[in-house]
Each structure stands twice: as C-alpha cells, then as structure tokens.
Amino acid sequence: MNGIIAKNRVGRWPVPPVASGLALILILVAMGCAGGGGRQGRVEVAVTEEGFVPAEIPAKAGEAITLVVTRKTDATCAKQIVFADLGVEKELPLDQAVEVTVTPTKSGELRFACGMDMIAGKLVVP
C-alpha cells in the first residue's frame, strides 16, 4: 500500500491529488448525487398485496424521476403501471425491476395506477 502511494508521490501518477478530488466530485455530480437540474434520481417501488409501496413519492416539477418498480406478488391486479396523464404505460412482470422515468411538469399530484385504474399511487410535486 505505502509503496504504491510513495510511487505516486514521486510522479508516477500523472493526476495531481487536487485534480483527482475534483474529478470525483464531477463524477458524483454526473451521477445525480449533488442534485441540480434535470435529474433527481431513482426511487424503488414495490407492488405488493397492499398496492404500490410507497404509494406517495415526492418529486419535483421539471426534473426527471425514475421509478424502479418491482412487482412482488401475483395476488394483485397491478400488472402494469400507467401514468394516464403522460401516456406512459409499462408491463410489470413478476419479480423484475422495471424502470419508468417520468418528468412532472407542474405542481400537484401526478397519479399512476394499474391498468384498470384501481390500484394507484402518486407523485407529489410541491
């Protein structure tokens, strides 16, 4: 370990420590960890016998949010997720994570539901 660091210090590693720290920050920003325009990351959503869990998900207007939806039971009719207002509809195969990315455009509640509009949840946009 120490040997490697010593080698780096004598110039074998072309990237100075300050620059590598900066690069790490840039990577974190690119991954959406630092927030800011366009992305707000991912939310895991399960479909259980209770319905969509969680059923209320905070979101922000103008920022894409990815729901990673996994249906964990066959005892539900929520075998699709439908955002009627956005025209987005995805099948939810059993035990498979399905990514649904949506961008709320305005404040309020953005409803999603099963194909029959019975089991529902919502994005809550302040």
Interface residues toward Cu ion, by CB under 5 A: 77, 114, 116, 118
Q: Least CB distance from residue 125 to Cu ion, whole Å? A: 24
**C-beta of 97 vs 120, nearer to Cu ion:** 120
For 94, which DSSP code?
A: B
**C-beta of 119 vs 123, nearer to Cu ion:** 119
**C-beta of 65 vs 78, nearer to Cu ion:** 78
The pair of structure tokens assigned to 26 is 């840039």
Q: Least CB distance from residue 15 to Cu ion, whole Å? A: 54
CA distance 50 to 54: 10
> 122: helix, coil or strand?
strand
Q: Least CB distance from residue 80 to Cu ion, whole Å? A: 8
For the chain, percent helix, then strand, then coil, each to nearest 5? 20, 40, 40
